[in-house]
Amino acid sequence: MLLIGLFSWWYSTGWVQLTQRLLARLISLLDFFSIGLLFRTLFSPFKQISVGRVQGSVETQLRAWGDLQISRVIGAMVRLAVIAFGLVATLLLIVVDLLVLILWPLVPVLPLLVVLALIGVSQ
């Protein structure tokens, strides 16, 4: 009876729970990297602390504008690196999760397949 209960759980409720856990992990990874938000703020200044408009001479204003542009370039480079890493991590997680879903139904019968293979090899 225990074996029947295990198989019935494995191929019904267990599979559903596994799928829910894998989807939650994928959603968590997508939320962690926030790729959409990084694209929307791609050219925003990086760690720029400013008080707004700079008052002063033309030289001071040009220096502030140059600093802002450098900060934007650094921000874009950092965000592009995080986006690339996030896309690779997401792709790898999807591949691994698909393999887990494909192999899930084979796990309970794997010992039986190993025994049959050993019996077949010895004859």
d(CA 113, CA 120): 10
What residues in the chain have per-residue pLDDT under 70? 48-52, 121-123
Question: What is the reported pTM?
Answer: 0.76
**pLDDT of the residue at 22:** 97
3-state class (DSSP) for residue 106: helix
**pLDDT of the residue at 109:** 83
Name all contacts of 45-49 with Cβ < 8 Å and 24+ positions apart: 45/71, 45/72, 45/75, 46/71, 46/72, 46/74, 46/75, 46/78, 46/79, 47/71, 47/75, 48/75
Domain that residue 91 falls in: 2-122
**pLDDT of the residue at 60:** 86
**pLDDT of the residue at 113:** 83
Domain tally, the chain: 1
Query: How do residues 20-53 score in pLDDT, each as one tens digit?
Result: 999 999 999 999 999 999 999 888 887 766 656 7
DSSP 49-72: ---SSPPS-HHHHHHHHHHHHHHH
d(CA 17, CA 101): 11
